Structure 1
Amino acid sequence: MVLRDPKVEVAVLETARGGLLRSGLGYRRSDVGAVLNVAADHLGLRGIETVEELAKVKRIVVEVAKDTAVLNADDRLCLEMADRTKAENLCYVTMNSDHALVRKHIQANGRAVVLERGMGGNMIAIYDKGQHIPLLWAHLIPATLDGRAAHNVQNAMFAAGIAFSMGVSLEDIRHGLRTFDTTFFQAPGRMNIFDDHPFKVVMDYGHNPAAVKAMVDLTERMEAQGKNILVLSAPGDRRDEDIREIAALCAGKFDHYICRRDDNLRGRESDEIPMMLRDALIANGVSEDSIELIPEEQNAVQRSLEMAEQDDLLLIFVDAISRTWKQIQDFQPEGMESSGSNPKSEAATEFGSFGGFEQGNLGGMDFETEVELIRDSRGVRVAVAEETD
């Protein structure tokens, strides 16, 4: 067990709505509990029909917190949870530096994490017992993409508030934020960006309106020089109105739309989700000519990769995360070479000509033909032709 490992100093446990409803909370108490938001997701499942009912489930996390409850002050339902917890401290997180309640909370020596606008950008600041602690410029956090990914700015603020409330040093908090990014290695399925093609690909597991809106907003801030292309889907067990809302949030934001379904239909017919998305897009003003229905995820992704051109931006909402990432990596744009190398595994084979040396000469050794490299766990070596008997 993680909590029994003597080397573990701080453990952060995600407590999902589904697990709470199925089996209850997996622990009796915690030092710190946090609720980041209450969004219209998973409604209609297990007797939860409204966001207010969902909030009652989510607030259990802060009800059992003994030291600090960390709450989103920009979300009304989260803000109301402050009155439901007996934690010794309340820590509000807000991206609004003019938040009236948080201002009063700070003046009363309460704890808060605030995004403050300054001449050099947006500063994440911690307030605690009358102290004002500038923590880190938001744009210096890799996961925020120079501050453009507002949802990850907020996530970073929560991470800071939780860690600070658990006694983690400011130096360690800063180091953690400065070294965490959204690469596939560190955060698979969460805003993974692949830019070794002539176009940029953003892959994300967003599957509810709030997550989709965050990614759509991000793509707008990225200001692609070419077209914006979208591969869109929604889980089959979501309410019809939630699926239509997902499509509405994307309408008018992209030049081309590819509607697909997940591998697991979750009770839907084979083409039901992509058709529902298409109809909702059209109802929100998208031209039918700019929409394609390609139900299978792999086919939809392949089509989007094949149609992307120089400087385009491709946003893919993904279901099979590892499979799709490999498909993106392995894709070879027709008539163009990728701008970077994509090793398939730690022991992958990579071939290419040497750079920085005159062709046919390397380290004093002469070669008559183009030199090829193999890169694997042992390092890099020259590829030689196989010997024949």
Structure 2
Amino acid sequence: MAADAAPAVPAIPAPFADSRRLTGANLFFAVPAAVLDALGPQARDADALARWRSAVRSMAAALGWGEVALAERAHAGGTLLALTAPVDALFAATELDEWAWCAAVGFHAFHAPGHPASWDADAARETLRALVAAEARPALRALLAESEGRGVPALLDDEMLTLGLGSHGCSWPLDALPAPAAVPWAELRGIPVALVTGSNGKTTTTRLLAAMLAANGAVTGHSCTDGVIVGGAAVERGDWSGPAGARRVLRDPRVTAAVLETARGGLLRRGLAVARADVAVVTNTAEDHFGEYGIDDLDGLADAKLTVARALGDDGVLVLNADDPRLCARADAGLIRGHDGRPPRLAWFADDFDAPRLRAHRAAGGLSAGVRAGVLLLSDGSAEAGIADTASMPLAAGGIAAYNVANAAAAGLLAFALGVPTATIAQVLARFGSDPDDNPGRLQRWHFGGLQVLMDYAHNPDGLRGLLRVARAAGDGRLGMLLGQAGNRPDEDLRALAAVAAEAAPAFVVLKDIDGYLRGRTPGAVAAVLREALLARGIPDADMVTVLPEAEAARTLLRWSRPGDVLVMPVHSLGARAEVAAMLDELQLTGGMTARAGELPGAG
């Protein structure tokens, strides 16, 4: 075909889902990269994949990038191919990846001006060269090279460069960067940084570690699903568990230690915000969010969560859950790699302090934490220290909430690795959770009018199962519960959540939406799937009602209740949680008198 003649456009879908810039350490590499998610049968064909790789390499070489690194990952719908690229050429790298795949499979269905033509390699090369030239920022590269040589951490996004972190950092807009000689290098350095990821327990572990660092004298900033908190005060509200939240904390000039909740979505969409961290933890892996960004199963999820290890150097510590078989298997197989490609130092926690893995790790001088005879112990490999009586630890609900004991063990190991004394760790665990503001939305409890009410973020089967265990231990009265889920979960995930709810044999279920989290579904669609699944599990239709707004769903459950009942309220949106918590606070203050009078606070 002539170079100046574009082919006709057939009515067929694009052979890829999306391409993404990975601006930090990621699932594939410890450095920035671009990745394309190719779809369809051809994306699993060995010959097509070989042509794709060859096209990427040859075009990258033509652009002067040399021998780029490639990483490939198959998934249920196709294959991901990632390539390393200069930090100021990542947009061009995504275009290159798309061009290479379309050229490899002969897909010429669309072409827009300014994008490389898949049917003409020569024209595509000139287009990509123009894109690279337009994106190039030599001043940025010079500053990054200088900061790397000086050991000064750098933080980069589409608008700003930060050198140093927190109280020892300085930021400049990308269109007004200084010359390296004009940077006050002597004033710039890092601060202690912790990364917290996992399927469940991330926010609680983040808050616990932040409290331990603050008790040790740090001005702590932390980001999580509820916002950005600096020095105990909220500076942002909402879900800030991705790279933007991390940067918000690390650019605050007050912060002397940072704890960054690191959610799966941000890891897979953009990579880590920070190139280096001092400690990191993977709390656990549980079924959730499958089918997005090429993650189809627990093995893939474990790999994604372990991306945090790529930010750790020789002196970094990775804390892992020894009760999670996938994390153990990856450690045993030597599949966990730090920033330099070598395994980081490991620390393990488990329910049982004397579990074989923990004993062996201590014998080799490693950090570990777990429970023996009701006491949470921490060991540095040479000595043991009791850091909590689990029965009296407020966060553990009398020792019943085993998952919060695990969160405390993880946070204690992180804090110890960051230099917090065990006595300080113990002091925090002895009080944390006694004030509702310590851990809002996570295992909050109210008692009034003969009722026990538990509100929690439980958002997947494992999280809900743990919450229901606590509820059943709290009393033997009727169990009432709210049940809902975000709209971006597939139906099979909704049915799995309903199965856990049905196991607890609730007397009454209020089905709800999560305010603001329809994510492509129509109102009530999630509730309909949950109802069908509960019916199939033997929950009578008469024992269920659908009330979509979260706060009104909670009021409906309260109106149904009577003294002796235990109510479980997974409430997820921040607005609804605040409204429900205020209502429950007032009912507890009045001893439930308002409810017994047939009214509820805040009801219309």
Give the TM interval when normalised to the shorter protein.
0.7 to 0.9
- The yes-or-no answer on 1:90 pairing with 2:342 is no
Structure 1 residues not aligned, in runs of 5+: 345-389
Query: Closer, same or farther in 2 for the Cα pair 1:28/1:291, shift >3 Å?
Result: same
Counterpart Cα distance in 1 of 2:555 and 2:388? 40
8 Å contact kept, 2:375–2:388: yes
Counterpart Cα distance in 1 of 2:433 and 2:449? 20
Query: 1 or 2, which has the higher helix percentage?
Result: 2
Structure 1 outlier segments of 4+, above 4 Å: none
TM-score in terms of structure 2 length: 0.52
| Amino acid paired to 2:378 | I
| 1:1-389 to 2 correspondences below 5 Å | 3-5=165-167, 8=219, 9-66=256-313, 67-82=316-331, 83=334, 84-85=336-337, 86=342, 89-116=345-372, 118=373, 122-181=374-433, 183-224=435-476, 226-253=477-504, 254-264=506-516, 265-319=518-572, 320-330=576-586, 332-335=594-597
8 Å contact kept, 2:353–2:369: no
SS state at 1:5 partner: helix
| Amino acid paired to 1:35 | V
Number of aligned residues? 335
| Amino acid paired to 2:326 | L
| Amino acid paired to 1:4 | G
Shift of 1:112: 0.9
Counterpart Cα distance in 2 of 1:39 and 1:52? 10
| Sequence identity (%) | 30
Counterpart Cα distance in 1 of 2:599 and 2:449? 8
Deviations 1:91-147 (A, max 9, x none): 10111345222222222222211211x2xxx11112223322232211221111111
SS state at 2:538 partner: coil
8 Å contact kept, 1:183–1:193: no
8 Å contact kept, 1:205–1:318: yes
Counterpart Cα distance in 2 of 1:81 and 1:176? 32
Provide the residue aligned with 1:371 in structure 2. none
8 Å contact kept, 2:447–2:453: yes
8 Å contact kept, 1:195–1:201: yes
Counterpart Cα distance in 1 of 2:318 and 2:459? 27
The farther-off stretch of 65-74 and 279-288 is: 279-288
Which structure: larger Rg? 2
| Amino acid paired to 1:5 | S
8 Å contact kept, 1:205–1:321: no
Counterpart Cα distance in 1 of 2:436 and 2:383? 37
SS state at 2:521 partner: coil
Shift of 1:190: 0.8
8 Å contact kept, 2:387–2:429: no
| Amino acid paired to 1:149 | A
Query: Closer, same or farther in 2 for the Cα pair 1:181/1:23, shift >3 Å?
Result: same
Counterpart Cα distance in 2 of 1:333 and 1:19? 42
Shift of 1:184: 3.6
SS state at 1:267 partner: coil
Shift of 1:15: 1.2
Shift of 1:87: 5.5
8 Å contact kept, 2:387–2:423: no
Provide the residue aligned with 1:380 in structure 2. none
Counterpart Cα distance in 2 of 1:141 and 1:291? 35
Shift of 1:309: 1.1
Provide the residue aligned with 1:350 in structure 2. none
Shift of 1:285: 2.1
SS state at 1:243 partner: helix
Counterpart Cα distance in 2 of 1:128 and 1:297? 45
| Amino acid paired to 1:140 | S
8 Å contact kept, 1:59–1:81: no
Shift of 1:252: 4.1
Counterpart Cα distance in 2 of 1:152 and 1:312? 24
Shift of 1:311: 2.1
Counterpart Cα distance in 2 of 1:301 and 1:244? 22
Structure 2 residues not aligned, in runs of 5+: 1-161, 169-217, 220-255, 588-593
Counterpart Cα distance in 2 of 1:278 and 1:88? 46
Deviations 1:266-309 (A, max 9, x none): 11122211121111112122222222222232332111111111
8 Å contact kept, 1:252–1:285: no
SS state at 2:259 partner: coil
Counterpart Cα distance in 2 of 1:88 and 1:244? 38
Query: Closer, same or farther in 2 for the Cα pair 1:302/1:55, shift >3 Å?
Result: same
Shift of 1:36: 0.5
SS state at 1:215 partner: helix
SS state at 2:481 partner: strand
SS state at 1:115 partner: strand
Shift of 1:49: 1.8
Deviations 1:147-170 (A, max 9, x none): 111111111111111111111011
